[in-house]
């Protein structure tokens, strides 16, 4: 099943400088519903990062809970192609709790309506750059994560970059293909003060 996203706004209410100044990691989330527009904006921001040799090794998965994004069923979605305003359903069901357990039981992840899981296919970059490509892939994940942090800030949403998880467990919960290795989990939603 394919899911059409909305066009992203290219003009926000918060300046880039304000977003950078305010950005911080937030680890408590309200169990509220995000709009499809917010989700679309966040996915757009994740696609706006540089890539070594334009090899584009990143694969974005989006875990969405039950009644967590308007008009979107619970499940894990996969961004079909960078820059495309489209997601495809990868796996059905609200997997937030299982994902939180895979992340060393940081249970605030289960409260967040949405989590992005940034996975990578090393081979796309190492094919060109050899072992050095591994470094490039990790750098790229950092670029994308910062975009997501700043976009969350600009939308008044909270997020945190999570690197501490059981790789094999995250891959199992999301049913990731063998070649897609998870690097970062970023839960996001309204901040619970
Ligand atoms: C590579 C990396 C891995 C991280 N992993 C985690 C994590 O597993 N859990 C977590 O709560 N925060 C994690 N963080 C967030 C840091 O704890 C946070 O950025 C740091 O405390 C500084 O706070 P700030 O982001 O509010 O400036 C990670 C950050 C980076 C850059």
For the chain, percent helix, then strand, then coil, each to nearest 5?
A: 35, 25, 40
Ligand 1 site, residue 158, Cβ cutoff 6 A: no
Quickly tell me which residue has 């290795």 as its tokens. Answer: 181
Predicted structure pTM score = 0.97
**Domain-wise residue ranges, the chain:** 2-95+144-161
DSSP 14: S
Cα separations (Å) of 39 from 9, 45, 168?
A: 12, 10, 27
105 lines ligand 1 (CB under 6 A): no
What superfamily does domain 2-95+144-161 belong to in CATH? Answer: NADH Oxidase (3.40.109.10)
67 CA → ligand 1 middle, Å:
28
Give the number of other CB atoms < 10 A from CB of residue 125.
24
Mean pLDDT by 10 residues, the chain (193 residues): 93 96 98 97 97 98 98 95 87 98 98 98 98 98 98 98 98 98 98 93
Q: What is the pLDDT of residue 172?
A: 98
The torsion angle over the Cα atoms of residues 60, 66, 71 and 72, rounded to 10 degrees, is 30
Per-residue DSSP letter, 29: B
Q: Quick one: how far is CA 11 from the chain centroid?
A: 21
């Amino acid at each position: 099943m394919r899911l059409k996203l909305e066009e992203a706004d290219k003009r926000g209410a918060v300046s880039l400088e304000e977003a950078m100044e305010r950005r911080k990691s937030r680890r408590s989330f309200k169990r509220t519903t995000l709009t499809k527009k917010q989700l679309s904006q966040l996915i757009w921001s994740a696609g706006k990062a540089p890539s070594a040799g334009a090899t584009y090794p990143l694969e974005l998965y989006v875990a969405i809970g039950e009644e967590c994004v308007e008009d979107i069923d619970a499940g894990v979605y996969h961004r079909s192609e960078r820059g495309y305003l489209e997601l495809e359903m990868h796996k059905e069901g609200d997997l937030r709790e299982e994902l939180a357990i895979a992340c060393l039981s940081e249970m605030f992840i289960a409260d967040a309506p949405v989590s992005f899981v940034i996975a990578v296919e090393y081979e796309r970059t190492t094919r060109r750059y050899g072992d050095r490509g591994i470094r490039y892939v990790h750098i790229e994940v950092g670029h994308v994560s910062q975009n997501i942090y700043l976009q969350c800030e600009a939308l008044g949403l909270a997020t945190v970059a999570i690197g501490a998880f059981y790789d094999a467990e995250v891959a199992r919960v999301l049913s990731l293909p063998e070649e897609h290795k998870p690097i970062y989990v970023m839960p996001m939603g309204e901040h619970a003060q």
